[in-house]
Structure 1
Amino acid sequence: MNGDGGEEWRRLNPRMLVVHPFHVAVRAVPALLGLFVAGSRNGVSGHVWSFGGLGLMIVLGVLQWFTTTFRITDEHVQVRKGLFRRQVVTVPRDRVRTVDVTSHILHRVLGLARVEIGTGRSDQKGGGAVKLDALGTAEAAHLREELLHRRPASAARTGEALTAAPAATSVGVATGPADGDPAAGPGTGTGAGQAAWAETTGAGQAVASTGHVEAGTAPRGDSAPVTWDAGQEETELARLRPHWIRYAPFTLSGVVAIGVVAGFLSRLANEGGVDLRQIGALRDGWEWFTDIPVWTAIAASVVALIVFVAVASTLGYVMSFWGFRLTRHSGGTLHVARGLVTTRATTIEERRLRGVEVSEPLLLRAVRGARLIAVTTGLRVGRGAQRGGSMLLPPAPVAEAERLAEVILAPVPSGASPRETSPGEASPITVPLVPHGPAALRRRFTRALGVNALAVLALLALWEWAGWPAWTWIAALACLPFAALLAADRYRNLGHAMTPEYLVTRWGSLVRRRVALERDGIIGWNVTRSFFQRRAGLATLTATTAAGRQGYGVSDVTMSEAIDLATAGIPGLLDPFLVVPEKHTP
């Protein structure tokens, strides 16, 4: 029995006929502008071409509803889509790792949600994810319950599924067994205690937390009531404080906004055949800018850039983390709710949590700020912690990040967490780190100063024989002190420690990271030695894991230190590869 027979194919919500054409039309604005200009130059009214192109885009958007169907069987998730190129995407239900239910502003107005079913195979585009855009909010939550509880599809539709709140706008859940995760095998259900989840409204305020419900409470349309489970206890671990917003300008997320705006304007100008030099205001501004002294122009540009980045970063921080709230539930889960316009709630099963990462970008570290990231299986990391859903704390005081990390790594009073802490064991967040030796220090200075010196010599040669301006090699020479400071900081931030429960490693300068990785989550060791490391007698030991970045390294330690760490981390694993020198008796 394959479980695929007898299940009816379902369609997306008819209200998506408003969403898709709108999204397609917005993305096609530069092309429509190009059609307008091209049509005007050919003697035809430009609006005719534009309306024709817009009508074609709307038709393509509408066709997605007629050509997309899906069904959830006892063993598979299947999606059929496409008109000229028909596709059938099939995902085994026991391979489902995450279900993200997201509602953007237009979705929220229409009571819709976009569902993305991830298998954890890849973070790249198309890497195993199945997208359904869009479903009703209640139907999306219902579908999420079907998949995460591993229930038979027929049973879930007869009333055993969780009742969903219409205000739920975004849910991201790490569930199902992850590859290499020793805590669960294929097809393992989450259980009633691990089914706890949070739904959010407007500013991300948690309004529902439940495990399982009685039969007969299945969703009945988008206005179905929420069923609470009185047995679930919720403990708030962190909440956004208004004064945390002062850390936003130091995240530099506004730099991305500059690239997006510049790219959009460039594409708009190219598609529309617009010569920016012919726009009076831009031309006058450029003439004024070129007429002022060079150093004044540079200072004005730097100030304008700093102001723009600071404002954009602050707005992005507020949009992403407004209403942030982290809670722990007695069922063994952590819940993160956040967002202003687009809200999102992420549920992480603590049995899949393999550690935490305290991340401190350089500017954020300068003002004593940090972020906290979960090292867990089943959540995406390739697109960044924020988009992947693994961020446990937005930029906030470093003391708050360290406090929260210790609370998360501590055993849960209810006993839901499998982690244990030995009496008197030092916290992996504050445990003193073992510094790396003088060879690691020399290696950092050699790399930093050597590369800079080569750049100075190359620019000096180009100035002498190719006529390059002298300021190029002078600027490179002036960077030598900064390279030395960078090397010193990189060495100062380098360290590791091994506690009875965790491997702790720290590295980086532009972004300093301290990772506490649970030793039970390490599935292997990788020892690498580059040409220059071999000359210096050093090696890099990488702990491989199914969680987070799939590998966390201890850089530039001696070979004996690497072997000792690996042996202490997983006793007996390296024994078949070690050669014990024979002792000769006299």
Structure 2
Amino acid sequence: MSAPRESDPGAGWVRLDPRTIPATTLVAAGALVAAAVPVAIGMLLGGLGVGWVLLWTIGGTLVGTSATAVSEAARLAVTRYRVDPHRVERRVRFLSSTTSTLSTSRVRNVEITADVVQRRLGVATVRLASGETDGSRMTLGALDRDVAEDLRRRLLAGRATTDSSELVRLDPGWVRYAPAGVMTPLFGLAGIGIVFQVADWFGAVPEVLAWVWDRISGLPIPVIAAGVLLLALLVGTIASVAIFVENWWNLRLDHHRDGSLELHRGLLVARHTTFDGRRVRGVTLRQPPGLRTLGAARLDVVAAGAGTGKDEEGKAKQSPALVPASPLAVSSRVAGTVLGEPVPTGFDAHPPAARRRRLVRAIAVVVVVTGAALVPAVIWAWLWWVPLVAAVLTATVAIWAGLDNSRGLGHAITAGAVALRKGSLLRRTDVLRREGILGWNIRRSPLQRRAGLVTLVATTAGGGGAFRLPDVGLAQAPELWRTAGTVWDHLARP
């Protein structure tokens, strides 16, 4: 028996698709099996008998899988939803009744996701976001795939079917940019940490350390440090490539005539995201040092309901990612299409006082780190080299970061957009549509007042809602805040 059509206002409350039970249960079972393998190895290394290992791993997997199935069946039994021309409602009736409502006229972003199991079973999860920066979100999981697509088209009032042009498809060669991100070494350190964490669960850390030390004890300390760094980079590279492939496989970005964007991507979890063109406020180009060296950038959209972190209901916001790390020309071309004009290439530099502030901070970091490194050298004289190495390394990194940060600091104003660039390790260029800027905030610390600098913060209904540009010259500030209208000239008053 087929469920009533959601497009019929009189259909009343409708159940979620029952195929969500096997879909979620199979995914949970796979995760439990994957977790059981390292746990079993740790138990065996800890000296536990094979019978006990099988009991805990297989038994735990069966119990966890059964609990997931029961939980999903209960969720399906108590959850209903309905859609009418004015609103989308989701009701949960258990010990108490909770009804969530989202006005159809406020829905701006729609995301349809389906993992490998859901795709095989023909179901998908629908996530709706309203037009406010931290507005309401609603998740319906899971619906029949055709029902989910029909719901997306209805909520977007036909915008999803307007004429469109393809902006970009994934080039497999872009995977070479994945390890150039700032997260690569962190992924590597996290991977090494996970190994020791699993070993700690079974009290096997001393054995692991002894096994490692037996093989490296004869090497000089600098060689050991370099080996650990290379191992972290290797593990991080593998993790970065795997994450890139999972997130961006089958990428296709379409641009509709009304300015809406439609994004398809994902390998294990397929994602289909639509951004309402009326709620797109700009774009962000992200260029950490590795990507800048390779002439690449990642592109995010600045849109209402999309961003990092969680909204006011504690739910994750819709991802703003549009194009992965790719050649800068590709990201800039896509950004220009989204904005309706080319991305600025020439930026107005900030005063020399901005660079001095960054160099002073760099020197302060060097002094603090070197001072901390002196402590072991005072206690153990043979560690005299520690503060020297700390000073050299810290000075090299901190002064480079300060100079690179000051070189990157700048802004540009065009007929239809304002570009704000800042950062070094996290270099980003926010290009905001002038029509979407709600206003400016001005902030000045005592040191900034003495240096004749200000920090400007543009507010817009998209992304995080606030885009900060530090250390702007007093003579440059009025040109920026007037992009939101001459009414903001009152900021110039003492």
Q: If the TM-score is normalised by the length of the shorter chain, which range does it land in?
A: 0.7 to 0.9
> Alignment partner for residue 246 of structure 1, among 176, 184, 205?
176
| Of 1, 14, 22, the match for 2:18 | 14
Counterpart contact for 2:408–2:423, Cα < 8 Å? yes
Deviation at 1:323, TM superposition (A): 2.6
Identify which of 322, 326, 330 aligns with 1:400.
330
Q: Structure 1's 40 and 68: CA in aligned 2 closer, same or farther, altered over 3 A?
A: farther
Amino acid across the alignment from 1:449: I
Partner of 2:4: none
Give 1:28 shift.
Answer: 5.9
Q: CA deviation at 1:71?
A: 1.8
Query: Do 2:25 and 2:65's aligned partners in 1 also have CA atoms closer than 8 Å?
Result: no
- Pick one of 452, 457, 479 that aligns with 2:371: 457
Residues 72 and 78 in structure 1, CA contact (< 8 A), matched pair in contact too: yes
Q: Secondary structure at the match of 1:510?
A: coil
Q: Does 1:433 align with 2:347?
A: yes
CA distance in 2, matches of 1:40, 1:60: 31
State how 1:8-407 maps to structure 2 within 5 Å.
8-25=12-29, 51-52=62-63, 54-81=65-92, 83-84=94-95, 86-119=97-130, 128-149=136-157, 192=158, 195-196=159-160, 210-211=161-162, 232=163, 234-255=164-185, 257-258=187-188, 261=191, 273-277=201-205, 284-382=211-309, 388-407=318-337
Sort the Cα spacing of 1:368 and 1:566 in 2 relative to 1 into closer, same or farther, 3 A: same
Residue 509 of structure 1, CA deviation: 0.8
1:237/1:115 CA distance change after superposition, 3 Å: closer
Which residue type is aligned with residue 176 of structure 2?
A: R
Cα displacement (A) at 1:469: 4.2
**Structure-2 separation of matches of 1:5 and 1:399:** 48
Paired residues, number: 473
Does the aligned pair in 2 maintain the 1:370–1:396 contact within 8 Å? yes
- Work out whether 1:477 is the aligned partner of 2:391: yes
**Any unmatched runs of 5+ in structure 1?**
150-191, 197-209, 212-231, 412-426, 581-586
Q: C-alpha displacement at 1:528, in angstroms?
A: 0.4
Q: Deviations over 1:419-474 (max 9, x none)?
A: xxxxxxxx4422x2221112112111111112222332343356436989444422
Instruction: Give the TM-score, by structure 2 length.
Output: 0.83
Q: CA RMSD in A?
A: 3.7
SS state of the match for residue 429, structure 1? coil
- Once the 2 structures are TM-superposed, how far is the Cα of residue 525 of structure 1 from its aligned partner? 0.8
Q: For the Cα contact (< 8 Å) 1:103–1:112, is it kept in 2?
A: yes
- Which residue type is aligned with residue 360 of structure 2? T
SS class of match (1:130): strand
Alignment CA distance shift 1:490-1:253 (3 Å) = closer
Q: Which structure is higher in helix share?
A: 2
Query: Which of the numbers 476, 482, 485 marks the counterpart of 1:571?
Result: 485
* C-alpha distance in 2 between matches for 1:50 and 1:428: 52
Partner in structure 2 of residue 552 of structure 1: 467
Cα pair distance change 1:258/1:108, threshold 3 Å? farther
**Alignment deviations for residues 98-121 of structure 1 (CA, whole Å, 9 cap, x no partner):** 221100111111111011222356
> Which moves more between the two structures, 257-266 or 327-336?
257-266
Distance 1:109 1:522 in 2: 44
Corresponding letter in the other structure for 1:94: S
Asked whether the 8 Å contact 1:355–1:375 carries over to 2, the reply is yes
What per-residue deviation string (whole Å, max 9, x for no partner) do you get for residues 304-331 of structure 1?
Answer: 2222222222232222222323333334
Give per-residue Cα distances to partners, 1:269-308, cap 9 Å, x unaligned. 56xx5233487x8853453234544333223222222222
Q: Distance in 2 between matches of 1:315 and 1:471?
A: 39
Assess if the C-alpha contact under 8 Å between 1:428 and 1:499 holds in 2.
no
Amino acid at match of 1:88: T
Displacement of 1:527 after TM fit? Answer: 0.1
| Whole-angstrom CA distance in 1 between matches of 2:25 and 2:189 | 26
Letter matched to residue 354 of structure 1: R
Structure 2 counterpart of 1:378, which letter? G
- The letter for the 1-side match of 2:179 is P
SS in 1 for 2:476: helix
What one-letter code is carried by the residue in structure 1 that aligns with 2:467?
A: Y
- Go from structure 1 to structure 2 and tell me whether the alpha carbon gap of 1:566 and 1:122 turns closer, same or farther (over 3 Å shift): closer
Counterpart secondary structure, 1:103 = strand
Could you tell me whether the CA contact under 8 Å between 1:64 and 1:82 is conserved in 2? no
What is the SS of the residue equivalent to 1:97?
A: strand
SS of corresponding position for 2:348: coil
Q: 1:48 to 1:337 in 2, by over 3 A?
A: closer
1:46-95 superposed Cα distances (whole Å, 9 cap, x missing partner): 56676556534432232222122222234332223364565333333333
Letter in 2 for 1:443: R
Cα shift at 1:538: 1.2
Question: Quick one: structure 1 residues 116 and 268, their matched pair in 2 at CA, closer, same or farther if it must change by over 3 Å?
Answer: farther
Q: Residues 465-519 of structure 1: CA distance to partner in whole angstroms, max 9, x if unpaired? A: 6989444422331121332222111111111122222212211111222222221
Identity %: 32
Query: In structure 2, what is the Cα distance between the partners aligned to 1:484 and 1:297?
Result: 27
**TM-aligned CA distance change 1:64 to 1:291, over 3 Å:** farther
Counterpart contact for 2:439–2:488, Cα < 8 Å: no
Distance 1:558 1:74 in 2: 51
Are residues 309 and 546 of structure 1, via their aligned partners in 2, closer, same or farther at CA, if it must alter by over 3 Å? Answer: same
Alignment match, 1:155: none
Stretch deviating more after TM superposition (253-262 or 114-123): 253-262
Could you tell me how far 1:360 is from its partner in structure 2? 0.7
